[in-house]
Protein backbone atom coordinates (compact mmCIF):
# COMPACT_ATOMS: atom_id res chain seq x y z
CA UNK A 1 0.00 0.00 0.00
CA UNK A 2 1.19 3.50 -0.91
CA UNK A 3 0.37 5.86 1.95
CA UNK A 4 -0.49 9.50 1.50
CA UNK A 5 1.58 12.35 2.93
CA UNK A 6 -1.52 14.51 3.35
CA UNK A 7 -5.23 13.96 2.94
CA UNK A 8 -7.54 16.93 2.42
CA UNK A 9 -11.14 16.23 3.42
CA UNK A 10 -14.52 17.99 3.42
CA UNK A 11 -13.69 20.17 0.42
CA UNK A 12 -15.62 21.51 -2.55
CA UNK A 13 -12.95 20.56 -5.08
CA UNK A 14 -13.28 21.61 -8.72
CA UNK A 15 -10.77 19.39 -10.49
CA UNK A 16 -11.32 20.68 -14.07
CA UNK A 17 -11.00 17.01 -15.04
CA UNK A 18 -13.90 16.16 -17.37
CA UNK A 19 -13.92 12.54 -16.19
CA UNK A 20 -14.21 13.53 -12.51
CA UNK A 21 -15.14 17.22 -12.30
CA UNK A 22 -15.63 17.36 -8.54
CA UNK A 23 -14.47 15.70 -5.34
CA UNK A 24 -14.70 16.08 -1.59
CA UNK A 25 -11.30 14.68 -0.65
CA UNK A 26 -7.81 14.50 -2.13
CA UNK A 27 -4.78 12.46 -1.13
CA UNK A 28 -1.29 13.82 -1.84
CA UNK A 29 1.93 11.85 -2.08
CA UNK A 30 5.42 13.17 -2.96
CA UNK A 31 4.06 16.42 -4.31
CA UNK A 32 1.55 14.79 -6.65
CA UNK A 33 -2.14 14.00 -6.49
CA UNK A 34 -2.54 10.37 -5.47
CA UNK A 35 -6.31 10.07 -5.63
CA UNK A 36 -9.48 12.19 -5.55
CA UNK A 37 -12.98 11.23 -4.50
CA UNK A 38 -14.97 11.18 -1.29
CA UNK A 39 -13.43 10.67 2.15
CA UNK A 40 -13.78 6.89 1.95
CA UNK A 41 -11.84 6.82 -1.34
CA UNK A 42 -8.92 8.53 0.36
CA UNK A 43 -9.15 6.78 3.72
CA UNK A 44 -7.53 3.64 2.37
CA UNK A 45 -4.37 5.66 1.66
CA UNK A 46 -4.19 6.97 5.22
CA UNK A 47 -0.99 5.89 6.95
CA UNK A 48 0.27 6.29 10.53
CA UNK A 49 2.12 9.52 9.64
CA UNK A 50 -0.40 10.99 7.19
CA UNK A 51 -1.54 14.54 7.90
CA UNK A 52 -5.29 15.24 7.70
CA UNK A 53 -6.44 18.73 6.65
CA UNK A 54 -10.11 19.65 7.02
CA UNK A 55 -11.12 22.09 4.25
CA UNK A 56 -14.38 22.85 6.07
CA UNK A 57 -16.41 22.95 2.88
CA UNK A 58 -14.28 25.57 1.16
CA UNK A 59 -13.82 25.73 -2.62
CA UNK A 60 -10.59 24.35 -4.10
CA UNK A 61 -9.22 24.98 -7.60
CA UNK A 62 -6.00 24.07 -9.42
CA UNK A 63 -3.41 26.79 -8.85
CA UNK A 64 -3.44 29.78 -11.18
CA UNK A 65 -0.76 29.88 -13.87
CA UNK A 66 0.22 33.31 -15.20
CA UNK A 67 2.00 32.17 -18.32
CA UNK A 68 3.29 35.60 -19.37
CA UNK A 69 4.29 38.02 -16.62
CA UNK A 70 7.48 39.53 -15.23
CA UNK A 71 7.75 38.22 -11.70
CA UNK A 72 11.49 38.88 -11.41
CA UNK A 73 12.47 40.68 -14.61
CA UNK A 74 10.18 43.61 -13.75
CA UNK A 75 8.09 43.16 -10.59
CA UNK A 76 10.92 41.88 -8.46
CA UNK A 77 13.01 44.87 -9.43
CA UNK A 78 10.11 47.23 -8.75
CA UNK A 79 10.00 45.92 -5.20
CA UNK A 80 13.57 47.19 -4.80
CA UNK A 81 12.75 50.63 -6.24
CA UNK A 82 10.86 53.70 -5.06
CA UNK A 83 7.15 53.00 -5.38
CA UNK A 84 5.45 55.55 -7.65
CA UNK A 85 2.42 53.39 -8.47
CA UNK A 86 -1.09 54.88 -8.87
CA UNK A 87 -1.90 53.75 -5.33
CA UNK A 88 0.91 55.98 -4.02
CA UNK A 89 0.86 59.02 -6.30
CA UNK A 90 -1.86 61.21 -7.77
CA UNK A 91 0.20 63.84 -9.57
CA UNK A 92 3.72 64.72 -10.65
CA UNK A 93 4.44 66.60 -7.42
CA UNK A 94 3.82 63.36 -5.51
CA UNK A 95 6.39 61.59 -7.69
CA UNK A 96 8.92 64.39 -7.20
CA UNK A 97 8.49 64.20 -3.43
CA UNK A 98 9.15 60.45 -3.46
CA UNK A 99 12.25 61.00 -5.62
CA UNK A 100 13.42 63.79 -3.30
CA UNK A 101 13.20 61.50 -0.27
CA UNK A 102 15.04 58.79 -2.21
CA UNK A 103 17.81 61.24 -3.05
CA UNK A 104 18.29 62.02 0.66
CA UNK A 105 19.03 58.34 1.35
CA UNK A 106 21.30 57.77 -1.67
CA UNK A 107 25.02 58.58 -1.84
CA UNK A 108 25.81 61.37 -4.32
CA UNK A 109 26.39 60.13 -7.83
CA UNK A 110 24.47 56.88 -7.42
CA UNK A 111 21.32 56.17 -9.42
CA UNK A 112 17.94 56.82 -7.84
CA UNK A 113 15.43 54.34 -9.25
CA UNK A 114 11.66 54.80 -9.21
CA UNK A 115 9.02 52.61 -10.77
CA UNK A 116 5.41 51.77 -11.53
CA UNK A 117 4.11 55.24 -12.40
CA UNK A 118 1.26 55.47 -14.92
CA UNK A 119 1.16 58.80 -16.78
CA UNK A 120 -2.53 58.46 -17.68
CA UNK A 121 -3.46 58.03 -14.03
CA UNK A 122 -1.67 61.24 -12.99
CA UNK A 123 -3.69 64.45 -12.71
CA UNK A 124 -1.53 66.00 -15.45
CA UNK A 125 -2.10 63.03 -17.82
CA UNK A 126 1.60 63.06 -18.75
CA UNK A 127 5.02 61.93 -17.62
CA UNK A 128 7.39 64.15 -15.64
CA UNK A 129 10.17 65.76 -17.67
CA UNK A 130 13.90 65.61 -17.04
CA UNK A 131 13.83 69.25 -15.94
CA UNK A 132 11.24 68.46 -13.25
CA UNK A 133 13.37 65.55 -12.02
CA UNK A 134 16.44 67.81 -12.06
CA UNK A 135 14.81 70.12 -9.50
CA UNK A 136 14.78 67.41 -6.84
CA UNK A 137 17.85 65.49 -8.01
CA UNK A 138 20.58 67.70 -9.52
CA UNK A 139 23.43 65.53 -8.21
CA UNK A 140 21.96 62.05 -8.69
CA UNK A 141 21.10 60.32 -11.94
CA UNK A 142 17.43 59.31 -11.94
CA UNK A 143 15.54 56.60 -13.81
CA UNK A 144 11.76 56.62 -13.47
CA UNK A 145 10.23 53.51 -15.02
CA UNK A 146 6.60 53.46 -16.16
CA UNK A 147 4.21 50.70 -15.14
CA UNK A 148 4.38 49.16 -18.61
CA UNK A 149 8.17 49.52 -18.86
CA UNK A 150 7.71 50.54 -22.47
CA UNK A 151 8.51 54.09 -21.42
CA UNK A 152 10.51 55.87 -18.76
CA UNK A 153 12.11 59.18 -17.81
CA UNK A 154 15.80 60.00 -17.33
CA UNK A 155 17.05 63.22 -15.74
CA UNK A 156 19.84 65.38 -17.17
CA UNK A 157 22.64 63.80 -15.15
CA UNK A 158 21.44 60.35 -16.16
CA UNK A 159 21.68 61.30 -19.82
CA UNK A 160 25.11 62.91 -19.29
CA UNK A 161 26.53 59.80 -17.60
CA UNK A 162 25.15 57.67 -20.43
CA UNK A 163 26.62 59.89 -23.14
CA UNK A 164 23.22 60.63 -24.66
CA UNK A 165 22.62 64.10 -26.11
CA UNK A 166 20.00 65.71 -28.30
CA UNK A 167 22.12 64.66 -31.29
CA UNK A 168 22.10 60.95 -30.34
CA UNK A 169 20.10 59.06 -32.98
CA UNK A 170 17.11 57.01 -31.92
CA UNK A 171 17.88 53.31 -31.62
CA UNK A 172 15.91 51.07 -34.00
CA UNK A 173 12.43 50.57 -32.55
CA UNK A 174 12.81 53.32 -29.96
CA UNK A 175 12.64 57.06 -29.43
CA UNK A 176 14.39 59.69 -27.30
CA UNK A 177 11.55 62.20 -27.15
CA UNK A 178 12.35 65.83 -27.98
CA UNK A 179 10.43 69.07 -27.55
CA UNK A 180 9.68 71.66 -30.24
CA UNK A 181 13.18 73.11 -29.79
CA UNK A 182 14.85 69.75 -30.35
CA UNK A 183 15.80 69.28 -26.69
CA UNK A 184 15.53 65.92 -24.92
CA UNK A 185 12.46 65.89 -22.68
CA UNK A 186 13.80 62.96 -20.66
CA UNK A 187 11.11 60.59 -21.92
CA UNK A 188 12.44 57.43 -23.56
CA UNK A 189 10.20 55.01 -25.43
CA UNK A 190 10.53 51.32 -26.29
CA UNK A 191 14.10 50.31 -27.26
CA UNK A 192 15.43 53.70 -26.16
CA UNK A 193 14.03 53.07 -22.68
CA UNK A 194 15.24 49.47 -22.49
CA UNK A 195 18.80 50.84 -22.59
CA UNK A 196 18.24 52.00 -19.00
CA UNK A 197 16.51 48.92 -17.64
CA UNK A 198 18.58 46.61 -15.47
CA UNK A 199 18.03 42.95 -16.22
CA UNK A 200 15.13 42.32 -18.59
CA UNK A 201 17.02 39.53 -20.26
CA UNK A 202 20.22 41.42 -20.98
CA UNK A 203 23.52 42.05 -19.24
CA UNK A 204 23.74 45.56 -20.73
CA UNK A 205 22.25 48.66 -19.17
CA UNK A 206 23.47 52.18 -18.56
CA UNK A 207 22.41 51.53 -14.96
CA UNK A 208 24.55 49.15 -12.84
CA UNK A 209 22.95 45.72 -12.30
CA UNK A 210 21.53 44.51 -9.02
CA UNK A 211 23.66 42.14 -6.96
CA UNK A 212 22.81 38.45 -6.63
CA UNK A 213 21.69 39.12 -3.05
CA UNK A 214 19.33 41.83 -4.27
CA UNK A 215 17.92 39.52 -6.93
CA UNK A 216 17.22 36.82 -4.35
CA UNK A 217 15.53 39.31 -2.04
CA UNK A 218 13.43 40.59 -4.95
CA UNK A 219 12.48 37.01 -5.77
CA UNK A 220 11.46 36.24 -2.18
CA UNK A 221 9.16 39.26 -2.08
CA UNK A 222 7.67 38.66 -5.53
CA UNK A 223 7.00 34.96 -4.88
CA UNK A 224 5.23 35.78 -1.62
CA UNK A 225 3.11 38.38 -3.39
CA UNK A 226 2.14 36.04 -6.25
CA UNK A 227 1.34 33.17 -3.88
CA UNK A 228 -1.08 35.44 -2.02
CA UNK A 229 -3.12 35.64 -5.23
CA UNK A 230 -3.17 31.86 -5.67
CA UNK A 231 -0.52 31.84 -8.40
CA UNK A 232 1.53 28.63 -8.39
CA UNK A 233 3.21 28.84 -11.81
CA UNK A 234 4.45 31.68 -13.99
CA UNK A 235 6.24 32.40 -17.22
CA UNK A 236 8.82 35.13 -16.70
CA UNK A 237 8.84 36.70 -20.13
CA UNK A 238 12.07 38.70 -20.06
CA UNK A 239 14.60 36.25 -18.71
CA UNK A 240 18.30 36.45 -19.41
CA UNK A 241 21.54 35.58 -17.62
CA UNK A 242 20.73 37.53 -14.40
CA UNK A 243 17.27 36.01 -14.11
CA UNK A 244 18.40 32.50 -15.03
CA UNK A 245 21.11 32.65 -12.36
CA UNK A 246 18.68 34.01 -9.76
CA UNK A 247 15.92 31.47 -10.45
CA UNK A 248 18.42 28.62 -10.44
CA UNK A 249 20.01 29.76 -7.18
CA UNK A 250 16.60 30.29 -5.59
CA UNK A 251 15.55 26.77 -6.54
CA UNK A 252 18.77 25.30 -5.15
CA UNK A 253 18.32 27.20 -1.89
CA UNK A 254 14.63 26.31 -1.56
CA UNK A 255 13.45 29.90 -1.93
CA UNK A 256 11.14 29.38 -4.92
CA UNK A 257 7.46 28.98 -4.13
CA UNK A 258 6.22 29.34 -7.71
CA UNK A 259 7.15 27.16 -10.67
CA UNK A 260 8.97 29.11 -13.37
CA UNK A 261 9.07 28.87 -17.15
CA UNK A 262 11.87 31.23 -18.20
CA UNK A 263 11.09 32.89 -21.54
CA UNK A 264 14.49 34.12 -22.71
CA UNK A 265 15.04 37.44 -24.49
CA UNK A 266 16.14 36.99 -28.11
CA UNK A 267 19.61 38.50 -27.72
CA UNK A 268 20.47 35.43 -25.63
CA UNK A 269 19.51 32.92 -28.33
CA UNK A 270 23.13 32.28 -29.45
CA UNK A 271 24.12 31.48 -25.86
CA UNK A 272 21.13 29.19 -25.33
CA UNK A 273 21.97 27.32 -28.53
CA UNK A 274 25.65 27.05 -27.63
CA UNK A 275 24.82 25.62 -24.21
CA UNK A 276 22.35 23.17 -25.73
CA UNK A 277 19.40 24.27 -23.58
CA UNK A 278 16.24 23.41 -25.53
CA UNK A 279 12.75 24.63 -24.67
CA UNK A 280 11.55 22.59 -21.69
CA UNK A 281 15.03 21.92 -20.27
CA UNK A 282 14.92 21.73 -16.49
CA UNK A 283 12.55 20.25 -13.93
CA UNK A 284 9.09 20.85 -12.49
CA UNK A 285 10.34 23.99 -10.71
CA UNK A 286 12.55 25.78 -13.22
CA UNK A 287 12.54 25.32 -16.98
CA UNK A 288 14.03 27.07 -19.97
CA UNK A 289 11.05 28.31 -21.98
CA UNK A 290 10.82 29.85 -25.41
CA UNK A 291 12.66 32.76 -26.98
CA UNK A 292 11.02 36.16 -26.42
CA UNK A 293 11.02 39.01 -28.89
CA UNK A 294 9.05 42.15 -29.69
CA UNK A 295 7.21 43.10 -32.87
CA UNK A 296 5.74 46.41 -31.69
CA UNK A 297 4.97 48.61 -28.72
CA UNK A 298 2.31 48.79 -26.02
CA UNK A 299 -1.48 48.88 -26.17
CA UNK A 300 -2.05 51.38 -23.36
CA UNK A 301 0.89 53.48 -24.53
CA UNK A 302 -0.57 53.64 -28.05
CA UNK A 303 2.60 52.34 -29.68
CA UNK A 304 1.03 49.10 -30.97
CA UNK A 305 1.68 48.76 -34.73
CA UNK A 306 -1.72 48.92 -36.43
CA UNK A 307 -3.03 48.85 -39.99
CA UNK A 308 -5.48 51.70 -39.43
CA UNK A 309 -4.34 54.93 -37.75
CA UNK A 310 -5.15 55.90 -34.19
CA UNK A 311 -8.30 58.04 -34.02
CA UNK A 312 -6.49 60.85 -32.20
CA UNK A 313 -3.55 60.87 -34.64
CA UNK A 314 -4.71 60.28 -38.24
CA UNK A 315 -1.18 59.89 -39.58
CA UNK A 316 0.16 57.64 -36.80
CA UNK A 317 0.30 53.81 -36.89
CA UNK A 318 2.39 52.94 -33.81
CA UNK A 319 5.96 51.66 -33.56
CA UNK A 320 7.26 48.42 -35.10
CA UNK A 321 10.33 47.25 -33.21
CA UNK A 322 11.62 44.91 -35.92
CA UNK A 323 11.50 44.84 -39.70
CA UNK A 324 9.88 41.85 -41.42
CA UNK A 325 13.33 40.67 -42.51
CA UNK A 326 14.69 40.88 -38.96
CA UNK A 327 11.67 39.03 -37.59
CA UNK A 328 11.93 36.30 -40.21
CA UNK A 329 15.65 35.76 -39.56
CA UNK A 330 15.14 35.51 -35.80
CA UNK A 331 12.21 33.10 -35.98
CA UNK A 332 14.02 30.96 -38.55
CA UNK A 333 17.07 30.65 -36.29
CA UNK A 334 15.07 29.73 -33.18
CA UNK A 335 12.63 27.44 -34.99
CA UNK A 336 15.37 25.54 -36.80
CA UNK A 337 17.09 25.00 -33.43
CA UNK A 338 13.93 23.40 -32.02
CA UNK A 339 13.03 26.35 -29.77
CA UNK A 340 9.59 27.70 -29.03
CA UNK A 341 9.09 31.37 -29.93
CA UNK A 342 6.98 33.90 -28.06
CA UNK A 343 6.65 37.26 -29.75
CA UNK A 344 5.04 40.32 -28.23
CA UNK A 345 2.61 41.66 -30.86
CA UNK A 346 -0.30 43.97 -30.05
CA UNK A 347 -1.35 45.58 -33.31
CA UNK A 348 -2.87 43.67 -36.21
CA UNK A 349 -0.02 44.73 -38.46
CA UNK A 350 2.53 43.35 -35.98
CA UNK A 351 0.58 40.10 -35.60
CA UNK A 352 0.55 39.63 -39.36
CA UNK A 353 4.32 40.09 -39.50
CA UNK A 354 4.78 37.47 -36.78
CA UNK A 355 2.51 34.96 -38.51
CA UNK A 356 4.40 35.48 -41.78
CA UNK A 357 7.62 34.55 -39.99
CA UNK A 358 6.08 31.53 -38.23
CA UNK A 359 4.58 30.24 -41.46
CA UNK A 360 7.80 30.54 -43.44
CA UNK A 361 9.87 28.89 -40.69
CA UNK A 362 7.49 25.92 -40.51
CA UNK A 363 7.52 25.48 -44.28
CA UNK A 364 11.31 25.65 -44.40
CA UNK A 365 11.93 23.46 -41.35
CA UNK A 366 8.79 21.39 -40.69
CA UNK A 367 8.34 20.52 -37.01
CA UNK A 368 5.66 18.65 -35.16
CA UNK A 369 3.83 20.92 -32.72
CA UNK A 370 6.32 23.80 -32.30
CA UNK A 371 3.61 25.53 -30.28
CA UNK A 372 4.91 29.03 -31.03
CA UNK A 373 3.19 31.78 -29.08
CA UNK A 374 1.99 35.34 -29.60
CA UNK A 375 2.01 37.38 -26.43
CA UNK A 376 -0.94 39.78 -26.14
CA UNK A 377 -2.19 39.29 -29.72
CA UNK A 378 -4.43 42.24 -28.99
CA UNK A 379 -6.10 43.48 -32.20
CA UNK A 380 -7.31 40.65 -34.41
CA UNK A 381 -9.57 40.08 -37.41
CA UNK A 382 -11.04 37.02 -39.13
CA UNK A 383 -8.09 36.60 -41.47
CA UNK A 384 -5.62 36.60 -38.58
CA UNK A 385 -7.78 34.18 -36.60
CA UNK A 386 -7.80 31.73 -39.52
CA UNK A 387 -4.01 31.89 -39.82
CA UNK A 388 -3.45 31.51 -36.07
CA UNK A 389 -5.66 28.41 -36.01
CA UNK A 390 -4.02 26.87 -39.07
CA UNK A 391 -0.50 27.36 -37.71
CA UNK A 392 -1.33 25.96 -34.25
CA UNK A 393 -0.16 29.14 -32.57
CA UNK A 394 -0.88 29.63 -28.85
CA UNK A 395 -2.13 33.09 -27.93
CA UNK A 396 -1.64 34.75 -24.55
CA UNK A 397 -3.94 37.80 -24.49
CA UNK A 398 -4.05 40.27 -21.63
CA UNK A 399 -6.42 39.03 -18.92
CA UNK A 400 -6.55 42.13 -16.73
CA UNK A 401 -6.12 45.00 -19.21
CA UNK A 402 -9.86 45.67 -19.39
CA UNK A 403 -9.98 45.96 -15.60
CA UNK A 404 -7.08 48.38 -15.37
CA UNK A 405 -6.68 50.25 -18.66
CA UNK A 406 -10.16 50.72 -20.15
CA UNK A 407 -9.75 54.50 -20.03
CA UNK A 408 -6.90 54.29 -22.55
CA UNK A 409 -8.79 52.47 -25.32
CA UNK A 410 -10.44 55.54 -26.89
CA UNK A 411 -7.95 55.96 -29.77
CA UNK A 412 -8.75 52.41 -30.95
CA UNK A 413 -12.42 53.20 -31.61
CA UNK A 414 -14.54 50.26 -32.78
CA UNK A 415 -11.48 48.01 -32.68
CA UNK A 416 -12.17 47.37 -28.99
CA UNK A 417 -14.64 44.70 -30.15
CA UNK A 418 -11.64 42.82 -31.58
CA UNK A 419 -9.21 43.41 -28.72
CA UNK A 420 -8.31 41.00 -25.88
CA UNK A 421 -10.44 38.64 -27.96
CA UNK A 422 -10.92 35.65 -25.65
CA UNK A 423 -14.35 34.82 -27.09
CA UNK A 424 -13.11 34.87 -30.68
CA UNK A 425 -10.09 32.72 -29.86
CA UNK A 426 -12.07 30.10 -27.96
CA UNK A 427 -14.79 29.94 -30.61
CA UNK A 428 -12.11 29.14 -33.21
CA UNK A 429 -10.57 26.45 -31.02
CA UNK A 430 -7.34 28.42 -30.64
CA UNK A 431 -5.37 27.54 -27.47
CA UNK A 432 -5.35 30.44 -25.01
CA UNK A 433 -3.05 30.99 -22.03
CA UNK A 434 -3.47 33.62 -19.31
CA UNK A 435 -1.20 36.66 -19.37
CA UNK A 436 -1.41 39.45 -16.82
CA UNK A 437 1.83 40.90 -18.21
CA UNK A 438 2.25 42.10 -14.62
CA UNK A 439 3.30 44.73 -13.67
CA UNK A 440 1.77 46.17 -16.88
CA UNK A 441 -1.57 44.98 -15.49
CA UNK A 442 -2.63 43.66 -12.10
CA UNK A 443 -1.60 40.10 -11.33
CA UNK A 444 -4.80 39.52 -9.33
CA UNK A 445 -6.55 36.58 -11.11
CA UNK A 446 -9.93 37.38 -9.55
CA UNK A 447 -10.00 40.86 -11.07
CA UNK A 448 -8.82 39.39 -14.37
CA UNK A 449 -11.47 36.66 -14.35
CA UNK A 450 -14.18 39.24 -13.65
CA UNK A 451 -12.86 41.41 -16.49
CA UNK A 452 -12.93 38.49 -18.95
CA UNK A 453 -16.43 37.49 -17.87
CA UNK A 454 -18.04 40.97 -17.69
CA UNK A 455 -15.70 42.96 -19.98
CA UNK A 456 -15.96 45.92 -17.65
CA UNK A 457 -13.26 47.89 -15.88
CA UNK A 458 -12.79 48.58 -12.20
CA UNK A 459 -14.90 51.72 -12.76
CA UNK A 460 -17.62 49.83 -14.61
CA UNK A 461 -16.61 50.94 -18.11
CA UNK A 462 -17.60 48.39 -20.81
CA UNK A 463 -14.90 47.36 -23.29
CA UNK A 464 -15.77 45.10 -26.22
CA UNK A 465 -18.76 43.26 -24.75
CA UNK A 466 -18.81 40.78 -27.64
CA UNK A 467 -15.68 39.16 -26.18
CA UNK A 468 -17.28 38.01 -22.90
CA UNK A 469 -16.55 34.45 -21.79
CA UNK A 470 -17.88 32.26 -18.98
CA UNK A 471 -16.38 31.85 -15.52
CA UNK A 472 -15.40 28.27 -16.30
CA UNK A 473 -13.72 29.30 -19.55
CA UNK A 474 -11.78 32.03 -17.77
CA UNK A 475 -10.59 29.64 -15.05
CA UNK A 476 -9.58 27.03 -17.63
CA UNK A 477 -7.53 29.69 -19.44
CA UNK A 478 -5.79 30.47 -16.14
CA UNK A 479 -5.00 26.81 -15.48
CA UNK A 480 -5.19 24.34 -18.36
CA UNK A 481 -4.63 26.91 -21.11
CA UNK A 482 -1.48 28.22 -19.50
CA UNK A 483 -0.20 24.67 -18.90
CA UNK A 484 -0.66 23.90 -22.60
CA UNK A 485 1.28 27.04 -23.52
CA UNK A 486 4.34 25.58 -21.75
CA UNK A 487 3.97 21.94 -22.92
CA UNK A 488 2.99 20.97 -19.36
CA UNK A 489 -0.67 20.03 -19.78
CA UNK A 490 0.12 16.54 -18.47
CA UNK A 491 1.66 17.91 -15.25
CA UNK A 492 -0.44 20.88 -14.18
CA UNK A 493 -3.71 22.73 -14.70
CA UNK A 494 -5.94 19.84 -13.59
CA UNK A 495 -6.32 18.01 -10.29
CA UNK A 496 -6.19 14.30 -10.96
CA UNK A 497 -4.02 11.30 -10.18
CA UNK A 498 -0.40 11.83 -11.21
CA UNK A 499 -0.64 15.59 -11.65
CA UNK A 500 1.30 18.09 -9.57
CA UNK A 501 -0.48 18.94 -6.32
CA UNK A 502 -0.66 22.68 -7.01
CA UNK A 503 -3.97 24.06 -5.75
CA UNK A 504 -5.64 26.89 -3.89
CA UNK A 505 -8.36 27.30 -1.28
CA UNK A 506 -10.72 30.20 -1.99
CA UNK A 507 -12.85 32.46 0.20
CA UNK A 508 -15.90 31.71 -1.96
CA UNK A 509 -17.14 29.81 -4.99
CA UNK A 510 -16.47 31.74 -8.23
CA UNK A 511 -19.06 29.64 -10.09
CA UNK A 512 -21.78 30.82 -7.72
CA UNK A 513 -20.59 34.39 -7.18
CA UNK A 514 -22.19 37.43 -8.82
CA UNK A 515 -19.93 38.00 -11.88
CA UNK A 516 -19.47 41.64 -10.83
CA UNK A 517 -18.29 40.55 -7.37
CA UNK A 518 -15.67 37.99 -8.41
CA UNK A 519 -12.95 40.56 -7.74
CA UNK A 520 -13.87 40.41 -4.06
CA UNK A 521 -12.80 36.75 -3.78
CA UNK A 522 -9.56 36.03 -1.97
CA UNK A 523 -7.05 33.22 -1.82
CA UNK A 524 -7.07 31.73 1.67
CA UNK A 525 -4.34 29.15 1.12
CA UNK A 526 -1.92 28.23 -1.65
CA UNK A 527 -0.24 24.84 -2.02
CA UNK A 528 2.60 24.00 -4.39
CA UNK A 529 3.57 20.35 -4.59
CA UNK A 530 1.19 19.68 -1.71
CA UNK A 531 3.08 22.07 0.58
CA UNK A 532 1.47 25.21 1.92
CA UNK A 533 3.29 28.32 0.69
CA UNK A 534 0.67 30.89 1.70
CA UNK A 535 -2.13 31.12 4.24
CA UNK A 536 -4.49 33.90 5.27
CA UNK A 537 -6.26 31.69 7.81
The pLDDT-based confidence of 87 (bands split at 50, 70, 90) is: confident
Strand pairing category for 59-62 and 503-506? antiparallel
The pLDDT-based confidence of 33 (bands split at 50, 70, 90) is: very high
Q: Distance between CA atoms of 96 and 112, rounded to whole angstroms? A: 12
Confidence check: pLDDT of 289 > 80: yes
What does pLDDT average to over the chain?
94
Confidence check: pLDDT of 77 > 80: no
Q: Provide the CATH topology of domain 66-70+210-526.
A: TIM Barrel (3.20.20)
Give the closest residue to 428 by CA, choosing from 473, 382, 465.
Answer: 382
The stretch 243-270 carries a mean pLDDT of: 94
Predicted local distance difference test score (pLDDT) of residue 202: 58
Q: Provide the CATH topology of domain 82-194.
A: Diaminopimelate Epimerase; Chain A, domain 1 (3.10.310)
The stretch 273-302 carries a mean pLDDT of: 94
For the chain, the helix, strand and coil percentages under 3-state DSSP, each to the nearest 5: 35, 25, 40
The structure's pTM equals 0.88
Predicted local distance difference test score (pLDDT) of residue 204: 65
What does the DSSP assignment read for 166-223? Answer: TTSPPPTTEEEEE-TTS-EEEEEEEHHHHTT-S-TT-S--SSPPPPHHHHHHHHHHHH
The answer to whether the Cα torsion of 453, 381, 438, 285 is positive or negative is positive
**For residues 55 and 9, is the Cβ–Cβ distance under 8 A?**
yes
66-70+210-526 and 82-194: identical CATH topology? no
Predicted local distance difference test score (pLDDT) of residue 361: 98
The domain segmentation of the chain, as residue ranges, is: 6-57, 66-70+210-526, 82-194
Predicted local distance difference test score (pLDDT) of residue 85: 86
Q: Distance between CA atoms of 83 and 116, rounded to whole angstroms? A: 7
Q: Give backbone dihedrals phi and psi of 4, rounded to 5 degrees, phi first.
A: -85, 145
Predicted local distance difference test score (pLDDT) of residue 70: 92
Greater confidence (477 vs 119) lies with 477
pLDDT, tens only, 176-211? 999 999 999 999 998 898 888 766 555 567 888 788
The stretch 39-68 carries a mean pLDDT of: 95
Q: What secondary structure letter does DSSP report for 392?
A: T
Strand pairing category for 151-154 and 64-69? unpaired
pLDDT, tens only, 432-472? 999 999 988 899 999 999 999 999 999 999 999 999 999 99
pLDDT, tens only, 460-508? 999 999 999 999 999 999 999 999 999 999 999 999 999 999 999 999 9
Beta-bridge partner residues of 6: 28, 51
The pLDDT-based confidence of 270 (bands split at 50, 70, 90) is: very high
Q: Distance between CA atoms of 67 and 422, rounded to whole angstroms? A: 15
pLDDT, tens only, 386-423? 999 999 999 999 999 999 999 999 999 999 999 999 99
Distances (CA, A) of 491 to 479, 497, 505: 11, 10, 20
Q: Distance between CA atoms of 480 and 488, rounded to whole angstroms? A: 9
Domain 6-57 class, CATH top level: mainly beta
Predicted local distance difference test score (pLDDT) of residue 1: 66
Confidence check: pLDDT of 73 > 80: no
**For residues 27 and 4, is the Cβ–Cβ distance under 8 A?**
yes
Confidence check: pLDDT of 5 > 90: yes
The stretch 43-60 carries a mean pLDDT of: 94
pLDDT, tens only, 234-243? 999 989 888 8
Predicted local distance difference test score (pLDDT) of residue 200: 56
Amino acid sequence: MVYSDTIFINGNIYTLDKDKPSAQAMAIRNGEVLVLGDTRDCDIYKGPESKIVDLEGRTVLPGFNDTHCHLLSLRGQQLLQLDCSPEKVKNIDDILEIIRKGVEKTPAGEWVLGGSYDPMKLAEKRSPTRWELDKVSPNHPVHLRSQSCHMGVINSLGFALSGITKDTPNPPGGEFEKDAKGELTGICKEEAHFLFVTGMGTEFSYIPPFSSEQYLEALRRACKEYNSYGITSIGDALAGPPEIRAFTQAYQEGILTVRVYMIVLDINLPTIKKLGLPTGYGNDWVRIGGIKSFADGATAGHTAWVSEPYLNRPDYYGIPTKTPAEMEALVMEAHSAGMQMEIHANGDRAIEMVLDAYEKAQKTFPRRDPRHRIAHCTIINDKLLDRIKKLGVVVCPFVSYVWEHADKMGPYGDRVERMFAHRSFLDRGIPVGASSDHPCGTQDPYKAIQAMVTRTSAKGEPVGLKQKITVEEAIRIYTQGSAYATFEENRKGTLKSGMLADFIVLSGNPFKTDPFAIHELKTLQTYVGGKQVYSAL
